[in-house]
Amino acid sequence: MSLHLLEKRRTKMSLTVQKLRVKSITYSEGEIKSQEKELKLSLSCSDSLSIKGSTDNWTSFYFTRNIDITPEPVFSLSVTIFVIVADPAKKDSVPTESEILAELRKKDNSLSALFAEVSLLVSLVTKANGDFPMITPPVFMEKAPQAQKNK
């Protein structure tokens, strides 16, 4: 398949968000028990997608953003949004999980409202706890593979 045809196929997908609804928000904060003067903390942010169902013209899924600060259970936040999307260009077929993931991974995607909603909820929850609001990026955050430890 030529690159030109692949590019044409890619631009035909224009998912539109039909509905966004908060499914769940889970927040927990631990206590730093280490007595070390310098404690190295690690922040991780990852997204996941789980298809819930589909009909002839839409697909529904759960989108979850998980944020953790480790090594001790210092902070954990999970936001899950229920989303319904449709592709108006394809009236007789529904977007698949791989098509939705491909759209989410694009730099300029048609599902940016989803990222804005999740980022807003994350900042509101962290601000409500008396901290500075945590702003997460408006992009799909894939979980990075864990680094191998040298022996």
**For the residues of 56-89, what is the DSSP string, one character each?**
SS-EEEEEEEEEEEETTT-EEEEEEEEEEEE-TT
Q: Which of 14, 30, 1, 39 lies closest to 106 in space, CA to CA?
A: 14
Query: What residues contact 107, with CB distance under 8 A and at least 6 apart?
Result: 139
pLDDT by residue for the chain (151 residues), tens digit each? 333 333 333 345 577 888 889 999 999 988 777 677 777 888 889 999 898 988 877 889 999 999 998 877 788 999 999 998 887 776 666 777 888 888 787 766 777 778 888 999 999 998 997 878 998 887 777 765 554 444 4
Span 14-128: which CATH code?
3.10.420.10
Rounded to two decimals, the pTM is: 0.76
Residue 81 near residue 105 (C-beta atoms within 8 A): no
Domain ranges of the chain: 14-128
Main-chain dihedrals φ then ψ at residue 97, nearest 5 degrees: -60, -40
